[in-house]
Structure 1
């Protein structure tokens, strides 16, 4: 009997019908089983090792998905039983297991009759189906823990010190299998093989699958991240499945470090890289990616005729300092920083005034090319006064309101500020919600789930978020509050003074309108009628009888009437000026009192309320750190955040912007999605990302260095036509990936190609009618432009959405139909002042005109086949003009025009 193996004992257990056994017999059988399992060395845990609640039982709950968000880890649990998400609260879980529902979930005296086991094994109905089998290793571990009294051990000794998976990276073939092994080291100093306590997931099942026991099987070409989770702690491994074909991998000389990393990975996967793109493709590509627009035909010709070997390098340098490069990245940063949501109740903030100001400030900093760490510092440490006196601050606010006029001189005023206080004047920019925005924009982290519970797809717990939020809780939450005058007496004095002046003027305006104003209105009506009558009489006399002695009298009378009208108009203008000044003083006082961004001497503690209750933290801690941050009362807690961000070892700050810039040029991040830096979302090229970040920091956080480094690589300058064997690659940069132009760039490209503009109908906000779409601070009134922007995924810049995916980059048939069928596209083609109308008047032959259209749209000349087809189409059309219009429309609707390639 002793020689019976574990498999035999498992078979025996499965044969037993536990439901038919009496409680007494069940108790004896349980004791027998525990003794039986202790005799076999192959058991998951040896008999002399105690089953740990924290190390083993909590891990099993995670492995079996019992504490996941779709099961008992849900906010309200399932069927009356709730576990904390991925064991975030093991103490509470233990209490709920043992003491809720009269203790019937767990029965240490008769472990096999515990509801916990009966449900999980399907012996009684269970909405979560069978989670483990009788006699299996998981069941045995639960049974032994229950039989030993279902105790919880010392949580401190069970804290995880490190987690290691082997092999961390493995080459395999389709159909081949290997197993991952996971080793955990605990605070007690002990190490343990925890493979059987882990859950496993493949991030790309088209490349490799992994089963519940950690066996990996190759499926198709590529590499896949393998996520291993022990309890809540993740660790990643990678599996690479090379392409099997007879094509030799080319011997490329790669001097650029980006290319070395990319080609090394391609070689492992046996995916040959594409050739370099031609000059025309490169020139169009960098104009779209760096300037957000197409080059002109003249610029294309000049570049193609240039025979210098370093012309690409020189052109990159030229475009890095082009104003449109700053325009494009201003747009991207405004998206990221949610430059849209300004103004709550009675604070004199508004989208129309302040979104363009925020845009102007960002644009100025990008033109200056200030280091990115300083850029972040000037935003996160911003305050309205910037150390100036109240009087100086009042002068600035006054200049901003006075400058909100045609031409927007206020933009230059605001752009000269050192810091971006508008960042903290947006809605939901402070407190816990504001912390979510900081984490997303500057650290590439999505922490929203941690508001309620442990993040299901990351390491973050509610405590991490609240501790970090406490570093921002002293930033004033701007907006009207009834006690603002008491809280800020320094500004209240000036608020009252300005408010009094405003009301005095308002009263004077009212008197002028109701008293003398009415008299002036009546005089104005009288003078207008008399003026019209006298003007007519004078005109008749001058025509019929110029020598009539009444004519001079009539003229003198007309002059007096016009003088009277001027006096009336002057009075009205004076009243209007006083009225405007009254409103201006009121707006200035309100903005100063209710919208000044400042650091408070004391702040509240970070707190969130969710269906799970209210949680509060009273300590400050940086993300990923264990020790609290001590901030003296006279210091700004945000300074410690900036210092931490600047640490070369910071795992998020530099990586977030480097990854986003990379994603802009390649359509995907090295970590993708690019705003989800998480252990559950490993990088495809971790060493490349690390070297890029190190270079970025070494070069003083120089954004132009980052752009230049990426664009100068062979990887970026590859053709979009893959080599045989690499056609299916989408993640390893075997070729340049096709992607559609983003909304604003597409509209600007159409305008540039057709030499037309759009009237944005923005006079109501003192904004010019005509401008590049990339420069728009918010959606215009122009219905065509707004329709295309929405159709192509322009974000609303909603402060409640912490995801780069707010800009929808997906493609749809509706997008295609919009450009193909919208009447405004045809209007642009036919515009009498547009490119085609001017081209048709030039003394060029048909072949040359076709070439011009190709250069204006595709940034290249047509090949002979294309030229011939276009000439034939024009010849067959009802008129030459209609033929050219058809050719132009066709070019605007080609994939080559609509896609970045």
Structure 2
């Protein structure tokens, strides 16, 4: 018999041994015909004994993960690499075994001479390998692979090798900088056996600046802080927590806590040996809380009154006052629209936004916030929305006609606010199916499910089946089509302006009734578009984007059991009931974390849309108590804002304690944050005494923070504002980008150039009716003028050094007007204007 050895003739030649190697190999083993080199080497290795016959699922697959062979950049890629495709991080061992042992007539494995297997020759660099050298001949990794091939390269039974759990020791640990220790990992399997698998795991530190971990599980602490250490065995991850404390060089101060938030934050700082900052002064607090809650700077009169007040409760009262101002609902309607992405489109080719519907979407959200609708109720009214809302079709038609007439008049759009539910949510592009489910999980659960469209991410727990089974709850919603032809639509549009007679309404209802289902009436002139959707129609099972998997089950995220949904039941109601359960692990925490991040610049879980078990919070007990309190308050959003704002943690200074080593995660001081794009525009107009005109349909006096959308959505026509939005990172709410990170809050050079050089900013400063001109006219004293200018811009009085320099500048200026314009330009371009601190 002729045997074609792959290492001699190349990878493209067949190796026709598959038909007999499975019975001849045991026979050779019995008569002693197999090479013994690999088995003998086991005795010469350090560490735990290598099994004489490693198991493919328990040992080989995790070893391939450790070596990087089945990672996304190598053979674990969607199409594989170099002709070999493995499942990502070994999620499908049976499939991997088939690819390794059966493809190309099994040429990758040489059972008669294991050392001659391509499976060993390539990663050791003895044969050309695009992935480079991954292991050395004679190493422990090599020996695992060699022994497996030498013993027949078998696939162990799935039922006995199914992973039940991973245990890492120590699961949590406290050390000092410079200290080291070792992690040990034990795996439990479905046959009841346990095995130490430390040397088969991949180790990673979430914060290498705090602690490093090598691939042997040795951890070295670097500086004070805490870090999550992620350990992955095969595709299964587990987390160990490490806290690095420092020897305090100063006595930790006695601090008066304002509420339970401070208790948790101070306990963590005490463990770390990092003393907190002092409380900020009244002027700083007023500016900070005004910007954060309402998006607006306080006026000089408000500043003076607050500073002069001797009321010990003035901060608490100011918080309550600000939460009841219109700015609060405007700021949070904008933030919710950033999450819900109301890009409502009726053009199936270009997905062009429909301005009126985007405005109605924003206005409806804002109306609910002004009412302080409980958050669970708000979400229920969105997720279970229908257009009919239990009404007759004729009643709905009357509403559609009223909406069309309202829009033709121009100005504000208020009729839609009276609806109970937000059916426009289901009109958005990609609102249903798998794409829509990913958006729902992101917006309401703080979860990232994008990767689960095709695989399980190594740093998360969600699989394709999890995503698809959850998507089925929303698959009874389907896209609708127009019900009127162009002539009919034009007729209805014309008559909507003057109103229809009862007989005309009846005729229109009859035309709609002819269809078996109520669909979407479309006013084709695009001046008044209104859809009906969100009713329950038929349903289809969810399939993955790549078409590799399908689910016909209903299962909630994180739940083990499937749910039976009768055909007549709306599955969305089951989802809402699950969200409202006090033990729901995501719903309350997601909004609590986002509100916290709004006030502190980072979440207790950061990034804020990654509530993964493998991304633990910096203060887990605090997050839990805030979420529990929020639920106990009956999901009162103002309770949540009020609790955070009243804490000492929020009210402390941005100047760290001298003994603070520069921490960035544990709230030892207030973190400076750049103002959002909308707030920058409003702050410039506040300081300069100017305003904006945004376009038809937007009332005069509207602030930037009250705008429902952007230029490309047809909402505004003000190119200066649109440019500022782009420069300062206002998100475009792209349906393809499901991430809180779309709003860019980082400073950059373009922002500095915008503030320093944009002609519109210069024009606002020097406007004949602007703030500088008003101050010059109202005050004759340069010192008084200077104080007013500082109060309008930086919300404080100038320091003595600033006063002296500015008065000298005014003395040498051609006029008070010119001198003050120069000072205002300098103040607008300072970090004290563009940052909240």
TM alignment of 1:644-723, pairs within 5 A = 644-723=578-657
Is residue 672 of structure 2 the alignment partner of residue 738 of structure 1?
yes
Larger radius of gyration: 1
Give the one of 405, 415, 418 matched to 1:416.
418
1:568 paired residue number: none
Number of matched pairs: 793
Is residue 248 of structure 2 the alignment partner of residue 316 of structure 1?
no
TM alignment of 1:513-552, pairs within 5 A = none
Q: Which moved more, 1:456-465 or 1:860-869?
A: 456-465
Give the one of 462, 465, 468 matched to 1:466.
468
Closer/same/farther in 2, CA of residues 505 and 213 from structure 1, 3 Å limit? closer
Kept in 1: contact 2:248–2:274 (CA 8 A)? no
Kept in 2: contact 1:718–1:736 (CA 8 A)? yes
1:773 paired residue number: 704
1:550 paired residue number: none
What runs of 5+ residues in structure 2 fail to find an aligned partner?
1-6, 9-16, 18-24, 513-518, 711-715
Give the one of 152, 169, 172 matched to 1:169.
172
Kept in 2: contact 1:347–1:479 (CA 8 A)? no
Kept in 2: contact 1:341–1:797 (CA 8 A)? no
Kept in 1: contact 2:387–2:532 (CA 8 A)? yes
Kept in 2: contact 1:340–1:778 (CA 8 A)? no
Give the one of 867, 878, 885 matched to 2:814.
878
1:439 paired residue number: 441
1:724 paired residue number: 658
1:376 paired residue number: 379
The alpha carbon displacement at 1:378 in A equals: 0.8
2:521 paired residue number: 589
Kept in 2: contact 1:382–1:420 (CA 8 A)? yes
Kept in 2: contact 1:439–1:445 (CA 8 A)? yes
Describe the SS at the equivalent of 1:715.
helix
Kept in 2: contact 1:165–1:237 (CA 8 A)? yes
Pick 1 or 2: higher relative contact order, CA cutoff 8 A, min separation 6.
1
Give the one of 553, 557, 560 matched to 1:626.
560
User: Normalization by structure 1: what TM-score?
Assistant: 0.83
1:153 paired residue number: 156
1:247 paired residue number: 250
Kept in 1: contact 2:166–2:238 (CA 8 A)? yes
TM alignment of 1:447-526, pairs within 5 A = 447-480=449-482, 500=488
CA displacement 1:332-382 (0-9 Å, x = unmatched):
001110023332249999521101100111011111111111111111111
Describe the SS at the equivalent of 1:192.
strand
CA distance in 1, matches of 2:188, 2:312: 56
2:142 paired residue number: 139
Q: Which moved more, 1:236-245 or 1:366-375?
A: 236-245
Kept in 2: contact 1:398–1:588 (CA 8 A)? no
The alpha carbon displacement at 1:272 in A equals: 1.0
2:36 paired residue number: 31
The alpha carbon displacement at 1:326 in A equals: 0.5
What is the root-mean-square deviation in Å for CA atoms of aligned residues? Answer: 3.2
The alpha carbon displacement at 1:599 in A equals: 3.4
The alpha carbon displacement at 1:602 in A equals: 1.9
The alpha carbon displacement at 1:112 in A equals: 2.4
The alpha carbon displacement at 1:728 in A equals: 1.5
Give the one of 789, 800, 815 matched to 2:725.
789
Kept in 1: contact 2:588–2:630 (CA 8 A)? yes
The alpha carbon displacement at 1:804 in A equals: 0.6
CA displacement 1:605-659 (0-9 Å, x = unmatched):
112343xx54322222212223222100000111121122222222221111111
Q: Which has the higher helix share?
A: 1
1:428 paired residue number: 430
Kept in 2: contact 1:356–1:777 (CA 8 A)? yes
Closer/same/farther in 2, CA of residues 31 and 709 from structure 1, 3 Å limit? same
Q: Which moved more, 1:658-667 or 1:449-458?
A: 449-458
Closer/same/farther in 2, CA of residues 706 and 792 from structure 1, 3 Å limit? same
The alpha carbon displacement at 1:295 in A equals: 0.7
Give the one of 113, 128, 131 matched to 1:110.
113
User: Normalization by structure 2: what TM-score?
Assistant: 0.89
Describe the SS at the equivalent of 1:293.
coil
1:861 paired residue number: 797
TM alignment of 1:597-612, pairs within 5 A = 597-610=533-546
The alpha carbon displacement at 1:196 in A equals: 1.4
Describe the SS at the equivalent of 1:229.
strand
1:849 paired residue number: 785
CA distance in 1, matches of 2:334, 2:182: 47
Describe the SS at the equivalent of 2:181.
strand
The alpha carbon displacement at 1:407 in A equals: 5.2
What runs of 5+ residues in structure 1 fail to find an aligned partner?
1-17, 481-491, 509-572
